[in-house]
């Protein structure tokens, strides 16, 4: 689960880098655009930026949730192991008197 959480975080970081690069490369085109093209370009850019932010938020939430689930699983597994050890110790003590 920790690996998956890291993968989601890595994907988010890679997408952020990709969109930053894309925005930087399109800055020249945007600065030279006029009229209806400029309006349409700005609308598309805003939509892409909004969707990118939404996707990054979702990936961040997924990474956090999976990371927390992994931590909870590990803690639960350790607690169960401790309980099983206690049960084993009790049963060993009970049966040790029977063996001669």
Give pLDDT tens digits for 41-69. 999 999 999 999 999 899 888 888 888 88
Q: What is the CATH topology of the domain spanning 2-96?
A: Helix Hairpins (1.10.287)
Q: How far apart are CA 45 and CA 96, in angstroms?
A: 75
61-78 exposure pattern, b = at least 16 Cβ within 10 A, e = fewer: ebbeebbeeeeeeeeeee
Which pLDDT belongs to residue 5? 80
Confidence of residue 12 (pLDDT cuts 50, 70, 90): confident
pTM assigned to the model: 0.63
Q: pLDDT per residue over 64-98, tens digit each?
A: 888 888 888 778 877 888 777 777 776 666 666 66
């Amino acid at each position: 689960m920790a690996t998956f959480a890291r993968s989601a975080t890595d994907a988010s970081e890679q997408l952020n880098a990709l969109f930053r690069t894309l925005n930087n490369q399109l800055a020249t085109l945007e600065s030279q655009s006029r009229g209806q093209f400029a309006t349409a370009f700005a609308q598309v850019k805003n939509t892409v930026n909004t969707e990118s932010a939404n996707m990054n938020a979702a990936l961040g939430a997924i990474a956090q949730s999976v990371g927390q689930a992994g931590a909870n699983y590990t803690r639960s597994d350790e607690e169960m192991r401790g309980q099983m050890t206690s049960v084993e110790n009790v049963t060993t003590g009970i049966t040790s008197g029977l063996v001669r």
